[in-house]
């Protein structure tokens, strides 16, 4: 048998059922992998080996008795350090947060994983208050890419993505306010879905408002489906949370809500738009070729694929207005001494956001709603939109932008991600190959609001046609 740390959650659960592996053995393997490789990657800001092993032993006992708590009983999982986790500090990458607590409450998604018997191995790194698309912070330093530790893992869920890619837990919870699960998934060759806003309840409410989503980060579509099933559904603490979806994401993968597509390996009749650049972005030729080849796979699977742009210009100014105002809200309670300890880039955008007027904010909101209208009409013609997840591969770790970037901010190199936070649509990133330098590239699959099942089904079809799991970084 291969190292249990390299198994997916689906494979672990099958082994638990067969009695060929126990949750204790799986957790020990994951902890050993963390001990061996995390010093090179820095994906974790907290590792709880003792409590993880205790939880694994309790799970093993439940499996022996045939009394498991849920579908994820005994599966190791990591939690991004912006999600409340009872008994552990949630410091959000900031030295300004007192770790002493008390920490008495779980975020909704964390609570549901705990109820399912998942084994929490630790908390993963984030940039300070999850403000940017790479992962480094005054609290935890730089998180690196398992494929090349001189490169960034992306962000802001960079620790979660690096942990999954390196086999330091098969499941991870991340968050995404402007690309924060999709950016690191593309850079690390992992799978993720930013679901429709409200699909996974979020509490406390993000200071970035209705841009921020919770999302699963995994090595396979099936694992993401398992995680989604565990954490979806309404929660009274989140006034915008949605009821449970009509059918589970796991098991026999759903074909989606569109009439096209008859199963996970067949996309016949699906109307798919492929936009290489959204009409305004510049894409590295290596990445562009990989994404174009991936779009061809959808045609091979029966989809009707046409090259088409959605018809909007770069909404970066409006996104930054909303994002920078949210950042200003994050730190409004901090005095001068604490502000001096912040990431300098964060402090800079906070100062910009604090100068934004209410009318300016509402203007950006109105343009956001117009963008949503544009995409709503676009999806009357097309079931899915395919784009690159990112226009580049991973660049130097510790920098906010790649060398030669015309923009000082991370939004300058993420033109494909933040528009779909503004529209609240489901958007997945799946691995679609490697550049000449051996770095992963990602394909983004976008659906209409509430078409999460269709996005997942299409991604599963692609995964069956072009499996990626066997490709793992070697540290």
Considering the candidates 59, 78, 137, 180, report the single residue annotated as catalytic: 180
Query: Across the strands, what pairs with 443?
Result: 388, 430
Looking at the DSSP assignment, which residues form a beta bridge with residue 152?
A: 144
> In 3-state terms, what secondary structure has residue 151?
strand
DSSP state of 128: G
b/e per residue, 239-275, with b = 16+ CB within 10 A? eebbeebeebbbeebbbbbbebbeebbbbeebbbbbb
Catalytic entry in 59, 80, 157, 457: 80
Q: What are the two backbone dihedrals, phi and then psi, of residue 156, each rounded to the nearest 5 degrees?
A: -90, -5
Active-site residue flag, 180: yes
CA distance 151 to 132: 16
Identify the bridge partners of residue 393 per DSSP, sorted by sequence position.
Answer: none
Q: Which residues contact 249 (CB under 8 A, 6 or more apart)?
A: 224, 225, 226, 228, 229, 232, 452, 453, 456
Residue 270 phi/psi, 5° resolution?
-70, 135
In the chain, how long is the greatest CA-to-CA distance? 62
80 is a catalytic site residue: yes
In order, the DSSP letters of 378-406 are HHHH-SEEEEES-SS---BTT-SS-TT-S
The single residue of 59, 156, 206, 241 carrying the catalytic annotation is 156
Residues labelled as active-site residues: 80, 156, 180
């Amino acid at each position: 048998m291969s190292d249990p740390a390299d198994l997916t959650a689906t494979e672990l659960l099958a082994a638990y059922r067969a009695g060929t592996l126990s949750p204790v053995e799986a957790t020990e393997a994951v902890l050993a992998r963390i001990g061996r490789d995390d010093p090179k990657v820095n994906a974790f800001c907290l590792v709880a080996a003792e409590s993880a092993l205790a939880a694994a032993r309790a799970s093993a006992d439940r499996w022996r008795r045939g009394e498991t708590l849920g579908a994820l009983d005994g599966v190791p999982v990591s939690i991004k350090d912006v999600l409340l986790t009872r008994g552990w500090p949630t410091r959000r990458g900031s030295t300004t947060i007192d770790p002493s607590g008390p920490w008495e409450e779980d975020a909704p998604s964390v609570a549901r994983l705990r109820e399912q018997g998942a084994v929490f191995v630790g908390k993963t790194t984030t940039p300070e208050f999850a403000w940017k698309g790479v992962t480094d912070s005054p609290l935890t330093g730089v998180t690196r890419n398992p494929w090349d530790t001189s490169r960034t893992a992306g962000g802001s869920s960079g620790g979660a993505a690096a942990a999954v890619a390196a086999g330091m837990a098969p499941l991870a919870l991340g968050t995404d306010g402007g690309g924060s699960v999709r950016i690191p998934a593309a850079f690390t060759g992992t799978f993720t879905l930013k679901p429709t806003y409200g699909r996974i309840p979020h509490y406390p409410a993000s200071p970035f408002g209705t841009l921020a989503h919770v999302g699963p980060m995994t090595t396979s579509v099936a694992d993401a489906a398992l995680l989604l099933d565990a954490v979806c559904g309404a929660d009274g603490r989140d006034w915008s949370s949605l009821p449970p979806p009509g059918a589970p994401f796991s098991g026999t993968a759903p074909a989606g809500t569109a009439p096209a597509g008859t199963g996970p390996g067949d996309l016949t009749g699906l109307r798919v738009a492929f936009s290489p650049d959204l009409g305004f972005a510049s894409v590295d030729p290596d990445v562009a070729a990989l994404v174009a080849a991936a779009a061809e796979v959808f045609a091979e699977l029966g989809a009707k694929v046409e090259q088409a742009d959605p018809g909007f210009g770069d909404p970066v100014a409006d996104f930054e207005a909303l994002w920078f105002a949210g950042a200003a809200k994050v730190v409004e309670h901090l005095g001068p001494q604490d502000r001096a300890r912040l990431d300098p880039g964060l402090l800079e955008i906070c100062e910009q956001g604090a100068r934004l007027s209410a009318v300016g904010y509402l203007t950006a909101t109105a343009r956001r709603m117009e963008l949503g209208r544009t995409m709503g009409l676009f999806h009357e013609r097309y079931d899915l939109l395919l784009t690159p997840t990112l226009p580049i591969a991973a660049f130097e770790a510790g920098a906010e932008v790649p060398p030669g970037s015309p923009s000082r901010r991370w939004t300058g190199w993420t033109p494909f991600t933040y528009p779909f936070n503004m529209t609240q649509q489901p958007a997945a990133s799946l691995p679609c190959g490697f550049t000449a330098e051996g770095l992963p590239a990602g394909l983004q699959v976008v659906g209409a609001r509430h078409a999460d099942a269709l996005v997942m089904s299409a991604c599963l079809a692609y995964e069956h046609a072009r499996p990626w799991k066997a490709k793992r970084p070697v540290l």
